[in-house]
Structure 1
Amino acid sequence: MTTTLITGANKGLGYETARRLIEAGHTVWMGARDEVRGREAAETLGGQFVQLDVTSDSSVEAAAKTVAAAGGLDVLINNAGIPGPQAAPEDLTAADAEAVYGTNVVGIVRTVHHFLPILRGSDAATVVNVTSGLGSFHSVHDPERIESTVVMPLYTSSKSAVTMLTVQYAKAFPELRINAADPGYTATDFNGRQGTQTVSEGTDAIVELATRGGTGPTGTFIDRSGTASF
């Protein structure tokens, strides 16, 4: 049986990904900062809760020890992320940048660091990084795509970093399958439910990468339609 850990799994894309993977037969660890909400989400879906705050070394280290003691890990889904402040670009501060990058980028580095030794014990080791078309140079320059209408310097650049982290990790750890998924413009709390896709459609690419059984290409970037442009 495949064991999967999802960060930021108590709502939105993380919650729906957990639901679909549990339905597909995975044992799913649902990571969340808030213990009450995390436990409630896990109990509702039949997952296993683990307290996990990607901005905290001690939290991630403790979560890794819990998962390792329970038998190991096959799939790590780095889903946790924040949009940052809804402020004019000229009002963004270094502290704002540190907060966004601390969760969206440094959080992935921290989580990979602590869970990599556990993943290496699996013969189907997989990492899925949830990125965004908003971090794609191609998409933000295409006037026919909604990404070209968005100005969010911190969030968008953090997702560019996530996509590049994916490529670099794939090169560094060729024995793992490490890929990035763009959910697309999905109706979640993250965007005030303004997205045009359902939350199920938004998890298509994530679930696709998480259910390949450690096979297929590595270092790629996909959306629900297939290969996406960097």
Structure 2
Amino acid sequence: MRRTALATALVAAFGAVPALADPLPLPRVDYAITYNMQPGGQVMNMAHHAGIMRVDMTEQGQAMTGLMNLHTNKMTVLMSAPMKMAFEMNMNDPMPGMAGPAAGISPQQMMTEGDVTLTPIGTKTIAGHSCTYYDAVGTLGKDRAESKVCLTSDNVLLYSEAVDQGQTYILTATHVALGPQDPSQFRVPPGTQVMPMQMMMQGMGGLPGLNLQ
């Protein structure tokens, strides 16, 4: 099983790591963070404002932005090329591009039906910010997964590490800016054509970064 970077990022946006069935507590502050993702060294930018998560990254040479509105349970992925368009999914639907324990699980299930136990094992300083280092054990139904995470006192994720089928996945913050964010960055830009995810995938024969091989 191989996870794509976009699928990994969408899970990470909820404070989880690959293979973790349940999310960590949601952040209590606005922020903008740059992460390094391993393996591969991919850069991911993540921001939070008023219950909306934004993820920016490049997948297979194409810039993509994910917006997750925790109030409306809508997830929108914006694509910058070849034209301004986006696809939207209900967060009650299964997460696309996932396999293994996360296959068939929706973001909403991750947030409301799972259970996570955090056991403090120390402290770290990452990107100039202190965080508590935890052993995290998540369960959802019969699925169980373990990871290590580092959270600030406001539940901002600075580090996560998990092993899935022999592969270690690591997410590390390299730059952290806490404070108010521009609300316009958390809205779909005017003039963007928004389509259901199923329609776009059928019309394009699948989307980059959402297929597992």
TM class by shorter chain equals 0.3 to 0.5
| Larger helix share, 1 or 2 | 1
Could you state the TM-score of these two structures normalised by the residue count of structure 1?
0.30
Could you state the TM-score of these two structures normalised by the residue count of structure 2?
0.32
Task: Indicate the structure whose relative CO is greater, using CA pairs within 8 Å and at least 6 residues apart.
Answer: 2
